[in-house]
Structure 1
Amino acid sequence: MYLSRVRFWPNNAAHQALISVQQKGSYASHQLLWQLFTEQADRNFLFREEQASGLVGSQGMPEYLVLSTTAPAQLSELFQVQTKKFEPRLVVGERLAFRLRANPTVSYKGGSSDSTRGQRHDVMMHARKTAQASGIVDKQQLQQQMDQAAIEWLTCEQRSAKLGVRFEVQPTIIESSQHKTSKKSQSQLISYSAVDYEGVLTVNEPELFLTQVALGLGRAKAFGCGLMLIRRV
């Protein structure tokens, strides 16, 4: 695996690409980043958009952290790319600080008895509607209900087992936001939540955990969700 920091070059081509990102949203970023992996028929990278810092002329511009199974191209008229191998050696019981931007969703089966696949729902919006239906109208209380639902989505027993970790301390939600965007082939807008988590986890199964980190957590990966960043504490 490879972890890369990708920044726009200060040139006209990059400026035009940046305008496209600002107009079209995260999926435009996904399409641009795919140009660094020209040999791929299917996406095998995760990315996270942040604000650039430390590079002259880049303040306020987006930059990307990218986790990929192959190294990105280094020669690009759009991007400056800094890459290092991502090969953490973890042991059982190791504690890691993490940051994660995820799109928490849950599947609910419909009323039909022959329904075998559940319909996907946004966890935060579902929590909001449920709270409103119970009579809660205060904005702060609604947000608390939404945040708690997002935390439970990440730390539930099923997901912890799937990740091979345990959460001994409840993670913190740094920010959550609602987005509307579309893919190139679709005219209909797609709505999704993006939740930024920070916290500490304990590794139970190192190989399983790293496999899941490589795959990404949750949905909306093409819109910049799913990448978990980790460091030892």
Structure 2
Amino acid sequence: MYLSRVRVAIQGMDRNALVKLLAGDAYANHQLLWKLFTESEERPFLFRQEMEKEQLDTYESPRGLPLFYVLSSRAPVPVPGLLECESKPFDPQLSPGDRLLFKLRANPTVARKSTGKQSSRRHDVLMDAKWHCRQQGRDTPGEVRAAMEASAEQWLKSRCEQWGFSLNMSPQLSGYRQHQWRRQQRQIRFSSVDYEGVITVTDPARLRAALFNGVGRSRAFGCGMLMVRRG
């Protein structure tokens, strides 16, 4: 596996592509990063979008533009004049009991059955919690926010075991955002929220699988890339 930091040379973009980049258009960014892997027929990467001003050291002259962290099964090939890459092999050595700092941008969903229908439908966990909170008459801003955050936290806690780690404390939640665009006459919608905190490794094999394959839904659109480092 390869972990890369990818910067965009905006001189190589047309105006429409630049607008989508600056707006954080998840589908457009997915298509942009595909240019690093033109020999692959199936998507070989996960990615996470950040901002240069928050991620680069002062001497690297942040431009206030988006940059991407990309985890891939093959080395990306830079696109001169458009995409610049700094890549290194990624093969973390993990042991039970290791404490790690983590970041995760995820699309937490819950399956609900509608009355009279056999199949379930996926719902945004936070919006689902908001709806149930108001149905119960708890509709003050503080009550709604607490219910949404608790639901997002529970979504992560319920999956820790299968992903090979335990949470040392409640994670920090931020960056909740709803995404939508049209593609081939179809409306695509999903939500994302950022988790950050400390985990303890419980099953190294499961955690490696989660790191390499991503977790949750909407992995093609910038979600599911679990990033860890030693504190």
Q: Normalising by structure 1, what TM-score?
A: 0.89
Alignment CA distance shift 1:13-1:179 (3 Å): closer
**2:11 aligned residue:** 11
Cα shift readout 1:4-33 (whole Å, capped 9, x = no counterpart): 111112524376632343468111000010
* Aligned residue in 2 for 1:61: 65
- Deviation track 1:167-226 (CA, whole Å, cap 9, x = no partner) reads 13111103312222234xx33332222111111111111111111121111111222111
CA–CA separation in structure 2 for the residues paired with 1:146 and 1:189: 25
Determine the structure 2 residue equivalent to 1:224: 222
1:120 Cα offset (Å): 1.2
Cα contact 2:21–2:66 (8 A) shared by 1: no
Q: Within 5 A, what are the aligned runs for 1:137-156?
A: 137-156=139-158
Q: Distance in 2 between matches of 1:196 and 1:126?
A: 18
Q: Deviations over 1:58-82 (max 9, x none)?
A: 5221111111111100343311111
Unmatched 5+ stretches in structure 1:
none
Shift of 1:128: 0.6
- Tell me, yes or no, if the aligned pair for 1:17 and 1:78 is still in contact at 8 Å: no
Distance 2:217 2:74 in 1: 21
Partner of 1:134: 136
Asked if residue 107 in structure 1 is aligned to residue 118 in structure 2, the reply is no
SS in 1 for 2:6: strand
2:126 is the alignment partner of 1:124: yes
Stretches of structure 2 lacking an aligned partner (at least 5 in a row) = none
User: Could you state the TM-score of these two structures normalised by the residue count of structure 2?
Assistant: 0.90
Q: Matched residue pairs, number?
A: 226
The answer to whether the Cα contact below 8 Å between 2:22 and 2:65 also exists between their aligned partners in 1 is no
1:132 Cα deviation after fit: 0.8
Amino acid at match of 1:213: L
Bigger shift: residues 217-226 or 121-130: 217-226
Aligned residue number for residue 170 of structure 2 = 170
- CA distance in 2 between counterparts of 1:199 and 1:90 reads 18
In the alignment, which of 207, 212, 218 is matched to residue 209 of structure 1?
207
Letter aligned with residue 150 of structure 2: Q
Residue 82 of structure 2 corresponds to: 78
Identity across the alignment (%): 39
* Superposition CA RMSD, Å: 2.0
Q: Distance in 2 between matches of 1:20 and 1:201?
A: 34
Partner of 1:182, secondary structure, is strand
1:25 & 1:174 partners in 2: Cα distance?
A: 19
Aligned 8 A contact 1:160 1:166 in 2 = yes
Give the residue type in structure 1 aligned to 2:149.
D
